Every structure is written in structure tokens, then in C-alpha cells.
A and B are shown apart, each in its own frame.
Chain A
Amino acid sequence: MSTTRYEAVIGLEVHVQVKTASKMFSRSATGYGAPVNSLTDPVVLALPGVLPVLNRAAIELTVKAGLLLGCRIAPRCKWDRKNYFYPDSPKNYQISQYDQPLCLGGSVEIELPGSARNVMGEHKSIPLTRIHLEEDVGKLNHGSFDSLIDYNRAGTPLMEIVSEPALQTADEAFAYLTALKTIMVYGGISDCDMEKGQLRCDANVSIRPVGDPNLGTKVELKNLNSISFVRDGIAHEIKRQIGVVTAGGTIVQETRDYDGQTGQSQSLRSKEQAHDYRYFPDPDLMPVEVDAAWKARIQATCPELPFDKQRRFQSEYGIPYTLTSVLVPDRALSDFFEEAAKAGAKAQAVGNWIANDLLRELGAAKRDLAHSKIRPAHIAGLVKLIDADTLTQQTAREVFAEMFASGETPDAVVARKGLRADQPPAELEQWCRDAIAADARSLADFKSGKDSAINAFKGPVMKAAKGRANPKLVDETLRRILATL
């Protein structure tokens, strides 16, 4: 019995809400969680007589997304009406871009899971077809006997990012969405909160025998409303299709709904029920032209891409992959690190303090980085003091806690609390003498040539110093005294 092996071909259509203050075609405010139907105006509700007016910022942010993803920015694009009736769509057409999208081509760099957590995985470039700009629809709330419509979301600017059918596994899809989301958040283009519907994903999945250059019949998966559900839904669909084909069946072109809770999918509609959208240019809107100067101005606002930054952090600051993979995905955190490292402190130590202590404390205090009283200069100062042996690991933690609570500079904390380990307290000599006097056996051991016996005195000295003594100084002082005995 011959067993054909199959491979999957996956393309993703990702809708990303663009972060603007007002809607795509009117100046009604955008927002999530406002009272139902409180974010509307005559345009959003498609009242008789209204007209759309483009939101310049939405165009600019989409161009920015395109530039970040290496797209060609179309010198001219236009607006089309996509006609279909659905109760969440107030005009019963969606203003979108059909044959002249704003951005063409481009790619998303993804990282697949490594062999272990501290090992960087394989990187791949997933080509994009296009990015276009359109408007979101309202939200249907289903009751037991009716459906209720809230138009707050309607008209929110929405980017549709379409990949080539170039992904091969569910893990790649997961990595693609993770990378895309990081870039969008980096660029300030969207917050990409999937729970708030700011990022939504449909997947086109087909299978074919390994090596076959032809594409199989594709199935569209809808309502994949978390990145994990995207991965699970695609994995489920690949398995389902292979099951159908190996059982002698054929895949039918259809749209399926994947339920992340049950892990099951069901058919929504077949190809025969496909829409006839009757696209035509929207006579109410004028084309948009992006010239070189405008593009350059937007380019100037584009941040370094996350993976580029990760590679640079490793080479420029010599910090390990694991540390960069904590710092880099959060743009603010990586900027925080870089500012501290640039202040001349040891980068690895700076990174460790941020990735371990600062993140832990912020988490415990339920505070975000923007509201942290510790600023990059604090971390840099702290690491420098440790480096200069002014602070011990133990005193450094105390200084950190003070800084976290009050925002005082490390120098101020050290001065106020007298924590300088390199300027020993006058009592150090006496503490050492007391420790030696209290432990005759260790003194004897030391004198008999057992050098490590000296360590027995250090504990009591440190205890007396309440941890604020420089271990090197303690050692020197003990040896000086022991030499006289």
C-alpha cells in the first residue's frame, strides 16, 4: 500500500484596525468598550444623504505599515465599493480597495520555534501580496430570538494584509502573526489586541502531494480569534483535508468556521453561494497619490524592525539571544535597555536587571513601563556602582527597591542610607576583631595553614555590617589583623 505524503499551502488574510482617533470616512471617534451606539454619526449610520471623507492619518499609517514590510507604495490608489447585504454593514457596501491597493508586495520575516528556549529558531521571509485600506463593520450581538446591532466599531479604519500562499505549517502561521503583530505595535500602527478585535485572521488552507507544483482546492477558515486558535484551526484543517483525501474523498471549495473552544470546524457556505460583490470605483471619493516627499517623511518615522534590532543587540551589546528575546519584542522595553546601555553601563548586567528585576517588580505592582519610576539612568547608575564595587549584590537590591518605590537616583539612595561598601564604616576593624575573637577554632585552623578558615569570620562581620561591607575590604581587613596574631 503506497502512502502519499501531503504538504499544506497556507495564505493568511489579516485585518488590522488602524489606530486613529476618528473613523476611516468620518470624524466620529473610534474606541473599544464605549456604551453601545455612542460612537456614531450620520455617516457611520449611512443615513440618507451622507458622504465619506478620507482620514489622512489612516492612509499615512498604512503607508508606514507598507514601508515597514518592504512593500512598494502605489503612487496612486483608489477606492471601490464592495456591495453585499449584511446587517452589520450600514451602507450594505464596504468602501475598500479592489484593484489598486495602497501597498503591493513586501514580506514578513518570521522566526520558527528553536530546538530549545534559549536557541534561536530558523528565520524565513513570507512574501505579501498586498495591503489595502478599508472600513470595519458594526457588531452583532445574538440574543435568543433576535440580533442586536452596535455600530460603534463600524467605520473604524481597517488594513487588510494579504500574504502569498507561502506558509507551510500551522507553526509558521503562528510565527507569521506573532511577527506581524510585533511590527504593527512597533510602528504605532495598531495595538493588535485580538480580544478587542484589533487583529483578525482568516486562513486559506489547501493540501497537495509533496512535490506537486499545483495548488489544491482551498478552504477558507474564518473567525480565528486568537493567535493560538489560528495555529490550532490550521492544524485541524490540514488534518481534516488529509483525512478526506486519503479516505478517497475530494476537498470542496468552501468557507469553514473553526471553533477554538471545541476544536471543531463546520461549513459556512460553499463556492456556489459565493458573493458577487459588484465592485466599482466609489464616485464619492477621490484617488490618493503618495509622492516621494510624503513617503520620505513617513519613512523617517519608521522604527527599526524587531528582528533587525534583535540581531543588532546581540552584536553591538554582546548580549545573548535569550535576553534579546525578552527585551526586543516590546519596543519601549528595548528602548529602555538601549538608553541604559548607552549610558556606559555593562550591557549584560543592564539587560539582566531590566529583564529580571524590573519586569518582575512592575508585574507585581501591576504597573507598565511607562509608569515606572525607575528610568534607564537609574539602571545604568546602579550597574556602574556595582561595577565599581561601591555596591554589593545585596546592597544593590536594596537600592533597586528604594528606586522602584520612590524614583530616587541610586547615588541619592546610597548617600542617604550610607551604603557605600568602598568606604568602610569605622567599626569594620572592630567587627573583624570581634569575629576572630569569637571563633578560636577557626583562628587555630587558619594559623595552621588552612586558608579557607578565614571565611568563617566573614559571615559574622557581614551580619554586623548588615550586608553593607565590601567583601574584598572585609577579606583584606581580616588578613591584616590575622597576620598580627
Chain B
Amino acid sequence: MSVLQIDQLRRQLREKFPAAHRDPLPVPGESLPQAPLEFSPGQLSEIISPRQSSGASLVISELLEEKRDLPLALVDGRDSFDPASYGNEKCRRLIWVRCSKTEQAIQCADLLLGDGNLPLILLDLHLVSERELRQIPAALWHRLKIQARESGAALVAMTPRQIVPTPHRRLTLTGRFSLDHLELKSPVLQLHNPESQKLAGKA
């Protein structure tokens, strides 16, 4: 089959099934279905933040607002969490692990998963550099996945791009904010689940 034929076939498929071929990254101004912020116990999920100001902190804020019996563990890969932005009341439901290196963060997440006492662990690699992200071997994610399954704790990795192989759930942050959102408007967390959209398109 020639290259031209393949291109033609792809175009026909794209025209026939536009939802299945939609770019997971949102088109500006287009409204996308909102995905709920729920994570299954014993599973590894990934939240991708393709742009730096797309609402990754709002995820932490939302999770801290939820009433839970045990606190949320935040493994902060770049030591970037700002308690003043959240308020003391919310921070009472948080265990903050301040890491200075990605390697430390992975180690801490591994320990907390192995311990299995806390139900939800947030591994924040949002501001980690591309070079450091590339140094995380894929086998390590498999190890974390197995640890999560054995301990029953949910691990949520917040990353700037797709790096976790086969997560249970992958969400993409699609928020776009302006200076008005800092004071005047209330920013709303915008999460998009490409998998569910693909499924919806197929259906």
C-alpha cells in the first residue's frame, strides 16, 4: 500500500470518526466534558498538566476540601507547595513531604505506598524538568503500580506530560486562567479524560 493510499485512508477515517481522532489536547475555547476527581484505591492514576498554569494547584485544593478520615499525603517533587495559598484549615488535612530531587520524591512515594496506611498519595512532579523526568525508568512506575495494588492506596502522579505507562486513569488539565482569576473570578478546575472521550466517540 502506497503512502498516498494510507493518507487517504486516514483522512476518510478522520472524517467518519472525528471523536476518535481528536487531539487529546483541547482546542482553545472548546468546552470539553468534565471528568470527576475520583481515584480508585489500589490504582495508579496520572494527571497531566500540559501547560504550567492550567490548574494543577486546583487539584490539590479540591482534594484538600474533601472530607476524609485520614490526611492526604503530598510528595512534593520540587518543594513548590505554598501553604499560604490554601489556608491553615485545609492544610490540617495534609502531610507534606518536601523533596528537593525527583529521585527523593519517587523514593518517598514508594515508602508511603509500601506502608499502606494513607489511602491517597499525591506525587507532584508538575514542575520537574524534562531532563529529570526522562531519568525515571518506566520499570519504576510498574513497581509503584504493584505497590499501590498490594497496599490498597491510590497514587496520583501529577506530571507535565504523559510519562506513566498504562495508568488506571489519565486526566488532562485544560484550564486557562488570566490575572482576573487571581482575585475577581473564581477559577474552576477543568479536567478532561481523553479515554472516556474516545470511548464516547466509538459508541
Do A and B come together as binding partners? Answer: no
Residues of A within 8 A of B (CB): none
Residues of B within 8 A of A (CB): none
